Structure 1
Amino acid sequence: MKATDNRYYSENAEGDRMALGEAMLERVLSHIHNGNQDNALWQHFAKKAQDMRAGIGPVKDPLFLLHSNVYYLRDLLEEAEDEEALDLLDDMERDFF
Structure 2
Amino acid sequence: MTPTTDRQLLLKMHGFLEETAATNEDTTFDPDQEYLVEALIRLVKARGKTSIAEDFDTPYLHPMLTVQKWVEELKLIVADTLAEERIDSQ
- Give the TM-score normalised by the residue count of structure 1: 0.47
Q: Determine the structure 1 residue equivalent to 2:35.
A: 23
The answer to whether the Cα contact below 8 Å between 1:18 and 1:63 also exists between their aligned partners in 2 is: no
Instruction: Kindly report structure 1 stretches of 4+ aligned residues shifted beyond 6 Å.
Output: none
Q: 1:50 maps to which residue?
A: 57
Give aligned pairs, total: 59
1:67 counterpart = 2:68: yes
RMSD: 2.7
Unpaired stretches in structure 1, ≥5 consecutive residues: 4-13, 83-97
Distance 1:68 1:19 in 2: 20
**Which string of whole-angstrom CA distances, capped at 9 and with x for unpartnered residues, describes residues 19-72 of structure 1?**
52x3222111222232x21xxxx2011111111xx32xxxx2222211111111
The code of the aligned residue for 1:47 comes to: E
8 A Cα contact 2:44 2:52, kept in partner: no
Superposition TM-score, scaled by structure 2 size: 0.50
List runs of 5+ in structure 2 lacking aligned partners.
Answer: 1-11, 17-27, 84-90
